[in-house]
Structure 1
């Protein structure tokens, strides 16, 4: 996880530096009317220093090399699969929290469910927007629930729907803890396998937020 975060920070650093370097190079050329010496100096000023791997020296890259080094953020199959599956995963979480207002007797559980809904509803919109921007709109499709860790079964959903009061609260917490653990697993996987910066950011948010909520729910269910 730490290595992946360092890689993400490196991508942002290099990509941002490359953009700035390109602007400096262009400005240098325009200001000097195309003088070759000025161009050369601008090019040097626009170089990007990329930190080396542990034990290796830093490298000086041109703006174009820096962008290539950063890997930009072209989505790979792991990114696409994560977004498609997580939309369905979040959708079931909203199905679970949607039962809370009329069946729970715990104000604490109700507030928890409200927070989960408030967080995951916009995340679904963000992921659907991501698919649309990458020409994958409408391709979230329906996937086998068995392909997603933590998903509640049809029998478990039926049982939860037929329960009220303390029994409901306990079952809800049990199912939601498992559901969150599955989401963290999916997010952790894409952080190590994916390539897209925005997906990495979304997955990082899932890990941080849902790990905190898992700990809170465990305390409530004990």
Structure 2
């Protein structure tokens, strides 16, 4: 009787091991999930985007930045730097709390964006831009840039006079940034640069609306 019981117990244990191994074998046999979504590849300037079937896209097939992308990023760093400089004048000169709040936002947002764009240049083995170096603001190389004379006038202004001049110059400055963003969206290739251009358009279009409202009010 005891031998029969032991034989029964061993048989049950062996069956349990086989079931466990069968379950584990079933788990490891399942193929890993694959991404079935097609990859969208931007077209050349003036051309429509194309798609690549899933599994066929490689890093080498993704388009790199072209001259329009590189120019946009380099110019926007300088463009941002002037806006940050103008915003830095507001705390001691502006009288409007709205102007001070907007200037603080411009300083806090566009300063880090300068660092982000320089990192993008480094990632693509492109020389970075020193935003504090002289860039000839009065030359009119970029749309919306204030001239040296306008900056000097803004630095001398105080109170309501500063508020009005700051809003006028910053609206023109933001409109210039929108022009630059539109241009790179038409002629650029790099996906990250397109995202930067979209962010610039969204942020600065909203700020233009607010600044115009303050000027009119």
- Match for residue 127 of structure 2? 137
**Structure 1 residues 215 and 61: CA distance shift in structure 2, 3 A:** same
Shift of 1:61: 3.2
Q: Which residue of 2 aligns with 1:212?
A: 206
Alpha carbons of structure 1 residues 62 and 95: separation in structure 2 relative to 1, 3 Å: closer
Q: What is the aligned counterpart of 1:177 among 171, 175, 199?
A: 171
The question of whether the paired residues in 2 share the 8 Å contact of 1:104 and 1:110 is answered with yes
Structure 1 length-normalised TM:
0.70
- Residue 71 of structure 1 and its aligned partner are, at CA, apart by 5.7
In the alignment, structure 2 segments of 5+ residues that lack a partner are 1-28, 41-49
Displacement of 1:73 in angstroms is 3.8
Q: In angstroms, what is the RMSD of aligned CA positions?
A: 2.9
Residues 142-181 of structure 1 aligned to structure 2 (within 5 Å): 143=135, 145=137, 146-181=140-175
Q: Which residue of 1 aligns with 2:20?
A: none
| Counterpart Cα distance in 1 of 2:51 and 2:124 | 32
Aligned pair partner of 1:189 in 155, 168, 183: 183
For 2:110, the equivalent position in structure 1 comes to: 120
> Could you tell me how far 1:84 is from its partner in structure 2?
0.5
Gaps of 5+ in 1: 1-30, 33-37, 52-57
Instruction: Give, in whole Å, the separation in 2 of the partners of 1:168 and 1:199.
Output: 34
For residue 137 of structure 1, give the secondary structure of its aligned residue in structure 2.
Answer: coil
- Please name the residue that 1:87 is paired with: 77
- Tell whether the 8 Å contact from 1:48 to 1:63 is kept in structure 2 after alignment: no
CA separation in 2, counterparts of 1:192 and 1:75? Answer: 13
Q: C-alpha displacement at 1:192, in angstroms?
A: 1.2
Distance 1:59 1:120, change over 3 A: closer
Native 8 Å contact 1:47 1:60 kept in 2: no
Native 8 Å contact 2:174 2:204 kept in 1: yes
* TM-score using structure 2 length: 0.71
Partners of 2:124 and 2:92 lie apart in 1 by 39
Determine helix, strand or coil for the equivalent of 2:101. Answer: helix
After TM superposition, the structure 1 = structure 2 runs for residues 90-101 of structure 1, keeping only pairs within 5 Å, are 90-101=80-91
* 1:101 Cα deviation from its structure 2 partner: 0.5
What SS does structure 1 have at the residue aligned with 2:146? coil
Three-state SS of the structure 1 residue aligned to 2:128 is: coil
Give the structure with the larger helix fraction. 1
CA contact (8 A) 2:39 2:54 kept: no
Q: Which has the larger radius of gyration?
A: 2
